[in-house]
């Protein structure tokens, strides 16, 4: 058991990767066996991430060096710097790891019955597992170049998944747009990595953080990294790919691609807090991220109210919710150099932003799945053509209500808890920002009222008399997320104290992250 | 943790259950002795014909008309900016990098 | 003089980046867009390789090294990985363009567009 925990960082990446290339082989013989392999691989990944998380919350950060005599030895014997591939998993990484693994599992279960209608199912699962690899790798790596590689794995598999239903012209277009912005974003990241290597001859995040000078080249690299990851997480005004991609991605993968963009938010957070920390001009960078966040919140939600395509509507909400996270994180960065303000409200702001990531992954995932359930049953995404679906699809309606109330921040749902944390901490930083955040929450409710009214209520439309509830695996996939939402809603204190606060503390504790890799050097 | 100290979701859950019970009680006290298939189950007592379900339902694009009308000076340019052309997406990205780099260099 | 000679690769990289950014912003033909991305990728690869140059350094080939002190071949490894990734990205982009062309009969970013707003 102990050795399983030690090796779990790499196993959590290796097992889905192995399964990804095993599925085509098994799929040749039996599609049932293939489905089982996929589910088992993701369940094992989830289990590994969970036991790793338990150990990290108990005893602190894990370092895993590939190819070293002992996995915990980050720097080779005669070197002063870490030259090997190092995985570094702290409370923040594993927090994101749990989210990715859970959503991947729910999405895979949901996809099983969906894929019975599609051809090429085996390739679908390969891509789905590769996307999981990309996310977990991006979250667990301690090395900037590996961050680029996992970012590319995530982008390629995500783009192929988004454009998976090649019989639709718009699906290809959505996938292509995602691929183009990902390719350019990743190249910009690689250029920034090159800038670091040129200056410091280092690629390891902890080693770089130790010698970071914040020269003008570092400033350029920081801007490139913030903007590249900002584009991947769809912050306004670099968000326009998101509705195109999310609206065409097949069932189950939309939450996955969305969580993949949250993994890019993690990369952004990691770079700001750990790589630069207090060496950068925290108030400038903080305000840049706050402005991105406020723009995302406001423009995202106002455009969402206008949408009549249910998945585009939800995609714009995804953008708007990312704005909350950026706002919370940005306030935390702006006061990072000021210990008094950090203790007074900065930590709450960061915790609120981080807590919002997990809440949002859950309810946004659920809402995307309900939207796909509607598409599955009705064959249209157009809200103008829907009506009275609560009569035919009772469980989907209940799941939609849960998700809509949670995303609008109606107490006691989990969205309210994290939004409250953001409101009250941001209010102490700048009252105007908190007012905007509340306004956005109201508009969110308005737009989901619109979606609910036009899709689920109203008289039974004659053309949908024969529409039935979606198959059981799709309901189970939605049910997992719904149960988690209810759990997070009823016990917010437990969740915040067990998984969110350790993540915040480990983010702020830059010295601890550096010393765990560099040791006494 | 001041945000979570003064409210408890369990209290809200309890009130939700209580209210649901009240609603259920009211619902069960409704009139049960009516004749199916007669005029008693019609919507309009005045004898108006029930319109087509298509026409009965308020469609999505009709909702919040006044809101959009009042804010059309905001919505016009905003929706126009969402062109759907990939080159424009990249233009936003590159110009934002340039702008942010300028800000960061000046502020140091 | 020699100092400024070392800067020539970086000037070339800057020129390539400017060219590629110009292409990806102005050229609406999707094939040309992909060309722009490939040029950007080459510029970044070129940048990584130029960073790896150490004047007077020994090539890191174990059997041929004059002494045991060699240049750390990290940039070369990075470039190789990046080239491999670039090939797969380009292949996927081009295959998607073929499908867009089949569906819409056009490879203009504006004319083949179905999603907007």
Find out whether A122 and A153 touch, Cβ atoms under 8 Å: no
Query: Is C48–A197 a contact, with Cβ atoms under 8 angstroms apart?
Result: yes
pLDDT of C61: 76
Q: Is A18 exposed, middle or buried (0-12, 13-18, 19+ CB in 10 A)?
A: middle
Residue C115 in domain: no
Q: Is residue B27 part of a domain?
A: no
CATH of the domain at C85: 1.10.287
Whole-number pLDDT of residue A318: 92
For residue A24, report the phi and psi dihedrals to the nearest 5 degrees: -60, -35
Q: What does the block give as tokens for A466?
A: 């024969």
CA dist., res. A14 & res. A18, Å (int): 6
Average pLDDT, stretch A212-225?
A: 92
| Percentage of residues of chain A with pLDDT beyond 90 | 48
- Is the Cβ pair B85, C113 closer than 8 Å? yes
At A521 the pLDDT is 52
Angle between helices A501-508 and A347-378 (to 10 degrees): 130
Domain-wise residue ranges, chain A? 1-277, 281-490
List C-alpha distances in Å: A410 to A406, A407, C47: 6, 8, 51
List, as ranges, residues 28-87 from C with C-beta within 8 Å of B.
Answer: 28, 30, 33
Residue B3 has pLDDT above 50, yes or no: no
Closest C-alpha to A308, from A488, A455, A517: A455
Range of the domain at B68: 35-107
Is C113 among the domain residues?
no
Over 50: is that where the pLDDT of B1 sits?
Answer: no
CB–CB contact B59 A421 (8 Å): no
| Torsion, Cα of C89, C95, C100, C103 (10° steps) | -150
Residue A331 predicted with pLDDT over 90 = yes
Residue A328: closest CA among A192, A425, A448, A458? A425
Of residues A387 and A315, more confidently modeled:
A315
Of B79, B90, B94, which has the smallest distance from its Cβ to C117's Cβ? B79
**A261-265, A401-405, A489-493, B97-101, range with the lowest pLDDT:** A489-493
Structural domain that includes position C75: 2-104
Cβ atoms of A187 and C44 closer than 8 Å:
yes
For B54, nearest residue in chain A (alpha carbons): A461
| Cβ contact A417–B78 (<8 Å) | no
Do the domain assignments include residue B44? yes
Q: Helices A121-140 and A91-115, interaxial angle, to 10°?
A: 170
Is the pLDDT reported for residue A30 higher than 60? yes
Q: A87 pairs with which residues across the strands? A: A64, A141
Q: What is the pLDDT of residues C6-47, one digit of tens each?
A: 788 889 999 999 999 999 999 999 999 999 999 999 999 999
- From the list B83, B84, B91, the residue facing C25 with the nearest CB is B91
What is the spatial distance between Cα C26 and Cα A479, in angstroms, rounded to a whole number?
Answer: 47
What's the whole-number mean pLDDT along residues A76-88? Answer: 75
A460: which DSSP letter?
A: P
Whether C24 maps to a domain, the answer reads yes
Q: How far apart are CA A103 and CA A95, in angstroms?
A: 13
CA dihedral B12, B14, B16, B20 (to 10 degrees): -170
The predicted structure's pLDDT at residue A82: 74
Sequential DSSP letters for B23-71: HHHHHHTS-----TTSGGG-S-TT-PPPPPHHHHSPPGGGTTHHHHHHT
Q: pLDDT exceeding 70 applies to what percent of chain A?
A: 98
CB A271 within 8 A of CB A189: no
Q: How far apart are CA A431 and CA B78, in angstroms?
A: 26
| B53 within some domain | yes
State the average pLDDT over residues B62-80. Answer: 89
Peptide bond into A412 cis (omega under 30): yes
In a domain, B19, yes or no: no
Q: Does residue C109 fall inside a structural domain?
A: no
Burial B75-108 (b: 16+ CB within 10 A, else e): beeebeebbbbbbbbbbbbbebbeebbeebeeee
Between A157 and A77, whose confidence is greater? A157
Quick one: pLDDT at residue B5? 53
Nearest-angstrom CA–CA distance, A25 and A41: 15
DSSP A309: B
- Structure tokens of A121? 């199912």
**Mean per-residue pLDDT, A87-99:** 92
The closest of C30, C76, C78, C33 to C57, measured between CA atoms, is C76
Query: How many domains are there within chain C?
Result: 1
Predicted local distance difference test score (pLDDT) of residue A388: 83
C22 within domain boundaries: yes
- Long-range pairs for A491-495 at CB < 8 Å and ≥24 separation? A491/B9, A492/A414, A492/A417, A492/B4, A492/B9, A493/B1, A493/B4, A495/A355, A495/A358, A495/A414
Mean of per-residue pLDDT scores for chain A: 89
Each residue's pLDDT tens digit, A113-153: 777 777 777 888 999 999 999 999 999 998 899 999 999 99
CA dihedral B56, B61, B65, B69 (to 10 degrees): -160
| C-alpha A479, offset from chain centre | 20
**Cβ contacts of B32 within 8 Å, gap of 6 or more:** none
- Number of Cβ atoms within 10 Å of the Cβ of A6: 17
Picking from B3, B7, B60, the nearest residue to A384 by CB comes out as B60
Q: What is each CA distance from A455 to A19, A29, A102, A158, A183, in whole angstroms?
A: 38, 41, 28, 28, 36
**Distances from the Cα of C45 to the Cα of A106, A410, B92, C9, C80, angstroms:** 39, 50, 24, 12, 9
Do A490 and B84 make contact, defined as CB atoms within 8 angstroms? no
Element (H, E) at A296: helix A282-306
CB atoms within 10 A of CB A159: 29
**Cis peptide preceding A316, ω within 30 of 0:** no
Give tens-digit pLDDT for A422-474. 998 999 999 999 999 999 999 999 999 999 988 888 888 888 888 888 888 88
Residue C111 forms part of a structural domain: no
DSSP-derived secondary structure letter, A280: S
Inter-residue contact A326 to A293 (CB < 8 Å): yes
User: Nearest C-alpha of chain A: how many angstroms from C41?
Assistant: 6
Number of domains in chain B: 1
Asked if the structure places residue B80 within a domain, the reply is yes
Q: What is the sign of the dihedral through the CA atoms of A256, A299, C115 and C96? A: negative
Q: Which residue has the tokens 């988690």?
A: A484
Other CB atoms within 10 A of residue C73 CB? 14
Provide the pLDDT for residue C68. 67
| CB nearest to A191's CB, from C44, C75, C99 | C44
Mean pLDDT, to the nearest integer, of A224-240?
92
To the nearest whole Å, the CA of C117 is away from the closest chain B CA by 5
Q: Which residues of A touch B79 (CB under 8 A)?
A: 303, 306
- C28 in a domain, yes or no? yes
What is the torsional sign of CA C11, C90, C81, A153?
A: positive
pLDDT score of A79 more than 70 = no
Residue in C closest to B94 by C-alpha: C21
Q: Please check the confidence at residue A369 and state whether its pLDDT lies above 80.
A: yes
Interface contact A185, partner C, CB < 8 A: no
Q: Is residue B7 part of a domain?
A: no
CB distance from C24 to chain B under 8 Å? Answer: yes
10 Å CB burial of residue A471 (0-12, 13-18, 19+) is middle
Rounded distance, CA A203 to CA A211, Å? 12
Structure tokens at A270: 């990691």
């Amino acid at each position: 058991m102990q050795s399983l925990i030690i090796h779990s960082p790499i196993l959590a990446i290796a097992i889905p990767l192995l399964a990804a290339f095993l599925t085509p082989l098994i799929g040749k013989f039996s599609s049932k066996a293939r489905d089982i392999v996929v589910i088992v691989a993701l369940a094992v990944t989830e289990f590994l991430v969970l036991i790793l998380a338990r150990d990290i919350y108990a005893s602190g950060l894990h370092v895993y060096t590939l190819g070293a005599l002992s996995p915990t030895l980050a720097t080779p014997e005669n070197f002063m710097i870490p030259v090997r591939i190092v995985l570094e998993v702290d409370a923040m990484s594993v927090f994101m790891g749990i989210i990715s693994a859970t959503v991947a599992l729910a999405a895979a279960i949901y996809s099983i019955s969906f894929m019975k209608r599609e051809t090429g199912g085996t390739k679908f699962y390969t891509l789905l597992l590769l996307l999981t690899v990309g996310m977990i790798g991006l979250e667990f790596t301690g090395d900037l170049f590996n961050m680029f590689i996992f970012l590319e794995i995530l982008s390629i598999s995500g783009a192929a998944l988004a454009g998976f239903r090649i019989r639709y012209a718009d699906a290809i277009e959505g996938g292509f747009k995602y691929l183009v912005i990902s390719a350019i974003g990743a190249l910009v990241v690689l250029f920034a990595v090159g800038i670091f290597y040129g200056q410091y001859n280092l690629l390891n995040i902890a080693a770089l953080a130790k010698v970071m000078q914040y020269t003008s080249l570092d400033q350029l690299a920081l801007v490139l990294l913030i903007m590249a990851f900002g584009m991947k997480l769809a912050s306004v005004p670099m968000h326009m790919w998101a509705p195109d991609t999310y609206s065409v991605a097949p069932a189950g993968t939309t939450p996955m691609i969305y969580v993949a963009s949250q993994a890019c938010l993690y990369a952004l957070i990691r770079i700001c807090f750990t790589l630069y920390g207090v060496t950068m001009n925290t108030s400038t960078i903080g305000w840049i991220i706050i402005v991105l966040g406020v723009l995302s919140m406001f423009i995202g939600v106002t455009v969402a109210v206008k949408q009549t395509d249910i998945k585009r509507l939800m995609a714009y909400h995804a953008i708007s919710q990312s704005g909350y996270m950026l706002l919370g994180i940005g306030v935390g960065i702006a006061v990072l150099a000021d210990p008094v303000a950090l203790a007074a409200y900065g930590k709450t702001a960061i915790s609120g932003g981080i807590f919002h990531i997990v809440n949002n992954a859950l309810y946004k995932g659920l809402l995307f799945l309900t939207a796909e359930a509607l598409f599955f049953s009705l064959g249209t995404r157009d809200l103008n053509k829907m009506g009275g679906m609560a009569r035919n699809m009772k469980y989907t309606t209940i799941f939609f209500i849960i998700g809509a109330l949670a995303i609008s921040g109606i107490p006691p749902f989990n969205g309210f808890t994290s939004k409250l944390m953001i409101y009250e901490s941001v209010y102490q930083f700048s009252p105007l920002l908190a007012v905007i955040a509340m306004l956005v929450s109201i508009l969110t409710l308005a737009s989901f009222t619109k979606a609910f009214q036009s899709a689920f209520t109203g008289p039974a439309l004659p053309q949908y008399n024969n529409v039935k509830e979606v198959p059981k695996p799709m309901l189970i996939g939605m049910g997992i997320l719904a149960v988690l939402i209810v759990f997070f809603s009823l016990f917010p204190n437990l969740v915040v104290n067990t998984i969110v606060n350790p993540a915040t503390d480990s983010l702020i504790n830059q010295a601890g992250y550096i010393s765990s890799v560099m040791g006494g050097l | 943790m001041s945000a979570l100290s003064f409210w408890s979701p369990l209290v809200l859950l309890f009130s939700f259950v209580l209210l649901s019970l009240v609603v259920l009680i009211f619902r069960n006290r409704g009139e049960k002795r009516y004749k199916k298939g007669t005029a008693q189950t019609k919507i309009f007592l005045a004898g108006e014909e029930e319109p087509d379900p298509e026409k009965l339902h308020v469609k999505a694009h009709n909702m919040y008309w006044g809101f959009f009308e009042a804010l059309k000076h905001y919505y016009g340019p905003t929706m126009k900016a969402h062109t759907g052309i990939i080159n424009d997406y990249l233009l936003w990205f590159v110009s934002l990098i340039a702008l942010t780099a300028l800000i960061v260099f000046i502020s140091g | 003089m020699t100092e400024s000679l070392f800067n020539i690769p970086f000037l070339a990289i800057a020129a390539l980046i400017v060219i590629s950014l110009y292409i990806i912003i102005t050229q609406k033909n999707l094939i040309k867009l992909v060309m722009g991305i490939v040029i950007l990728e080459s510029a970044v690869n070129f940048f990584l390789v130029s960073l790896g140059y150490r004047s007077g350094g020994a090539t890191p080939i174990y059997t041929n090294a004059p002494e045991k002190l060699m240049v750390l071949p990290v940039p070369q490894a990075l470039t190789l990985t990046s080239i491999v990734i670039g090939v797969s990205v380009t292949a996927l982009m081009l295959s998607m363009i073929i499908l867009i062309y089949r569906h819409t009969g056009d490879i203009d970013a504006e004319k083949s567009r179905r999603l907007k707003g």
